[in-house]
Amino acid sequence: MFGWFGSRYTIKMSCEMKYLSFVSILFLTGCTFYDYKIENMPCKELSYKELPAHVQEFMANVSYGFGRELMFVDADDSTTYRIESVPTVIGPWNSCYKLINVKKNIVYRVEQGTSFPLIIDKDKMYIPDVFVYFVYDDYKSARYSEYELR
């Protein structure tokens, strides 16, 4: 009888250990693997008129930006950077985004709630303070945070 009780107890502990392991893995994965956290990087706040002329020209010629997370001023940068969403554990939401420099193998963490699109121009990234859809002139009234990408 003791052997049966002991084996049942062992199975119960095993289930508890599996649960504890699962919870531990959830906390250790997700948005924890990154080199730089965008919100902790130094940035300059710029108005549309303070952006470089070629970036202003690029924005003026975008036909439609709704739903885009990443835009490239220079098309060659599209082979350098990609963005991945990191899903939450429960539900269909994203916990954060990872901007990845494929050539240098550098990962930047972009927090959930950050305005899109992220506009990449070589080694600089511009993030609007509001979601910009490039409908009418909404991009001209936005303010932009300029980040140096490493």
The total number of structural domains in the chain stands at 2
Look at the block and give the residue holding tokens 């991009």.
Answer: 139
What pLDDT score does 41 carry? Answer: 96
pLDDT tens-digit series, residues 12-46: 556 665 555 544 444 444 567 899 999 999 999 99
Containing domain of residue 5, as a range? 1-30
Amino acid at 13: M
Determine what percent of the chain falls in helix, strand and coil, rounding each to the nearest 5: 35, 30, 35
- Based on the domain organization, do 99 and 114 belong to the same domain? yes
- Based on the domain organization, do 73 and 137 belong to the same domain? yes
What pLDDT score does 15 carry? Answer: 60
**With 80 as the cut, is the pLDDT of residue 8 above it?**
no
pLDDT tens-digit series, residues 103-146: 999 999 999 889 989 999 999 999 999 988 777 788 899 999 99
- Based on the domain organization, do 4 and 44 belong to the same domain? no
- Based on the domain organization, do 75 and 12 belong to the same domain? no
- Based on the domain organization, do 82 and 19 belong to the same domain? no
Which stretches does DSSP call E strand in the chain? Answer: 36-37, 43-47, 70-72, 81-87, 94-101, 106-111, 118-121, 124-128, 143-148
> Mean of the pLDDT values across residues 71-83?
95
Res. 4 pLDDT band, cuts 50 70 90 = low
